Amino acid sequence: MPITKALETHIDHISILDEHGSFDEALGKDLIPDEDLLKLYQHMVVCRKLDEIAFKLQRSGRMGTFPQNMGQEATSLGAAYMLDDTDWMVTCYRENCGLFWRGLPMEKILQHWMGDERGNQIDRKHYCTPIAVPIGTQMLHATGLAWGAKYRGESQIACTFFGDGATSEGDFHEAMNFAANLDIPVIFFCQNNQWAISVPTSIQCSAPTVAQRGMAYGVECLQCDGNDIFAVAWCMKKAIESARDHNRPVFIEAVTYRLGDHTTADDARRYRDEEEVALWQSRDPLKRMRTFLESKGLWNDAQQAELDEHAEATVTAAVERAESIETPSRDDIFNWTFADIPEQIATQRDTMRTTSIGQDPSQIASEQATTQA
């Protein structure tokens, strides 16, 4: 046979709780206990509240740019929920919901977007890495972090999060390829939220799925409804097994939608239709979860009212904490460049406001002495 099949393959799409409220028992049963479901839902609501308040803070000049999570809460949260507490979460900047689940204090995120590096001074016990501004670069760090754990014989894995846009960067390819070929336990979790600022996913990936990006490396690829926390959890379960037990990376595409602007510096009305937004609003993971909980008799309006209040209070308190942190000192510009600050930098620090030289100011004096001599 001159034409033979060198490979046959396919991609599964997972959906458990769909936008019409139908729930697949076969896959969904026992995936998430009811008490956890309640916690997860409450968590999402708090995170959504942060989006609302952060937006106002930015508009009133109390914060810089802020990227909202709105519409995508189920993705990072579903993933964080399934991971062990000591697995690395290597995120981008649109995973607040998952990070808070990890215990990362909300004021850290606020502080970061308020222009203070200490927001990224994350206690290592959270196993979270700093916000990654350059798109597509952090997957390599995730690969290295997981590799390090594997090297030391630890069972820790890494899960790295990124957008549809990030999959266009070369580093994404290199990270997946390293993980696949060197057997490194990383889960590559793509939040396909349909947009990279103003550029639609079709320009990042014109293939039928983003999930098939992973086929290039021979790793398992899964696509799921990213607004369905059950589907996310199901995929994560499979992926965690594959990574933890077999050192095999997995690629997950969670199909979701960025309900808000790209950041508070953006105005999405310039480039996308109201209709599209409305359609996705009907698929909102918060609504879906609430309806589901209500249908199970686990939730009611009174509880919601209480939760809304709690969310407002939680976020407001975090904002207060963030705003009450003292401004960093000028010296901080210099003191973190190296473990030991070289003389040259120390001099720049010590003279930054007293002389323009940035060199040992005694030089000026001595030179002047010489001049006069």
Partner 1 sequence: MANLTLVQAINLALVQEMEKDERVMILGEDVGLNGGVFRVTEGLFNRFGGDRVIDTPLAESGIIGTSIGLAMSGQRPVPEIQFEGFLGPAYDQICSHAARMRTRTRSAFTVPMTIRVPVGGGIHAPELHSDSPEAIYAHQPGLKVVMPASPYDAKGLLISAIRDPDPVIFFEPKRIYRAFREEVPEDEYTVPIGKARTVCEGEELTIVSWGASVVQCMQAIERSNDSIELIDLRTIYPIDMDAIEASVKKTGRCVIVHEAPRTSGFGAEIATQIMERCFLHLEAPVQRVAGFDTIMPYYKLETEYLPDADRIEKAINEIRAY
Ligand X SMILES: Cc1ncc(C[n+]2csc(CCOP(=O)(O)OP(=O)(O)O)c2C)c(N)n1
Binding site for a copy of itself (CB under 8 A): 2-16, 24, 26-28, 168-174, 177, 180-182, 202-209, 211-218, 223, 231
Instruction: Read off the DSSP letter of residue 94.
Output: S
Of residues 54, 106, 196, 210, which one binds Mg ion by CB under 5 A? 196
In degrees and rounded to multiples of 5, residue 78 shows phi and psi of -55, -40
- Which residues, 6 or more positions from 371, have their beta carbon under 8 angstroms from its beta carbon? none
> Is residue 262 among the annotated active site residues?
yes
Question: b/e map of 249-278 (b: 16 or more CB within 10 Å)?
Answer: bbbbbbbbbbbbbbbbebebeeeeeeeebe
Residue 328 touches partner 1, criterion: CB under 8 A: yes
Of residues 13, 59, 121, 241, which one binds partner 1 by CB under 8 A? 121
Nearer to ligand X, 149 or 190 (CB): 190
Residue 212 touches partner 1, criterion: CB under 8 A: no
Residue 87 touches Mg ion, criterion: CB under 5 A: no
- For binding to ligand X (CB under 6 A), which residues are involved? 94, 133-135, 162-166, 193, 195-197, 258, 262
* Residue 327 C-beta: closest distance to partner 1, Å: 6
Q: Which of these, 295, 307, 233, 279, lies nearest to 44 by C-alpha position? A: 307
Residue 255 touches Mg ion, criterion: CB under 5 A: no
**Interaction partner, residue 14 (partner 1, a copy of itself, Mg ion, none; CB < 5-8 Å by kind):** a copy of itself
Structure tokens at 182: 């060197």
Residue 337 touches partner 1, criterion: CB under 8 A: yes
> How far is it, in rounded angstroms, from Cα 50 to Cα 110?
9
**Interaction partner, residue 133 (ligand X, a copy of itself, Mg ion, none; CB < 5-8 Å by kind):** ligand X
Residue 254 touches Mg ion, criterion: CB under 5 A: no
> Is residue 257 among the annotated active site residues?
no
Q: Which of these, 175, 193, 189, lies nearest to 83 by C-alpha position? A: 189
Residues 334/335/338/344 CA torsion (nearest 10 deg): 50
Nearer to partner 1, 175 or 187 (CB): 175
Span from 45-53, 73-81, 98-106, 119-127 in contact with partner 1 (CB under 8 A)? 119-127
Residue 116 touches partner 1, criterion: CB under 8 A: yes
Of residues 34, 85, 123, 306, which one binds partner 1 by CB under 8 A? 123
**Interaction partner, residue 100 (Mg ion, a copy of itself, ligand X, none; CB < 5-8 Å by kind):** none
> How far is it, in rounded angstroms, from Cα 230 to Cα 147?
29
Nearer to ligand X, 247 or 263 (CB): 263
Cβ-contact 71, 228 below 8 angstroms: no
Amino acid at 127: Y
User: Which stretch of DSSP H or E encloses residue 26?
Assistant: helix 25-28
**Interaction partner, residue 94 (a copy of itself, partner 1, ligand X, none; CB < 5-8 Å by kind):** ligand X
Cβ of 233: how many Cβ atoms within 10 Å? 25
Of residues 21, 86, 199, 316, which one binds partner 1 by CB under 8 A? 199
Out of 102, 112, 258, 349, which one is annotated catalytic? 258
* Residue 148 C-beta: closest distance to ligand X, Å: 24
Of residues 175, 210, 311, 315, which one binds partner 1 by CB under 8 A? 175
Q: Which of these, 9, 77, 53, lies nearest to 233 by C-alpha position? A: 77
Q: What is the DSSP string of 164-175?
A: TGGGGSHHHHHH
Residue 348 touches partner 1, criterion: CB under 8 A: yes
Out of 262, 283, 290, 349, which one is annotated catalytic? 262
Rg (CA), the chain: 24
Of residues 67, 98, 163, 214, which one binds Mg ion by CB under 5 A? 163
3-class secondary-structure state, position 220: strand
Order of all β-strands in the sheet with 186-192: 88-90, 158-163, 186-192, 250-255, 220-225
3-class secondary-structure state, position 353: coil
Nearer to Mg ion, 111 or 256 (CB): 256
> Is residue 271 among the annotated active site residues?
yes
> How far is it, in rounded angstroms, from Cα 314 to Cα 39?
15
**Interaction partner, residue 193 (ligand X, a copy of itself, partner 1, none; CB < 5-8 Å by kind):** ligand X
List residues with catalytic annotation. Answer: 258, 262, 271
Residues in touch with Mg ion (CB under 5 A): 163-165, 193, 196
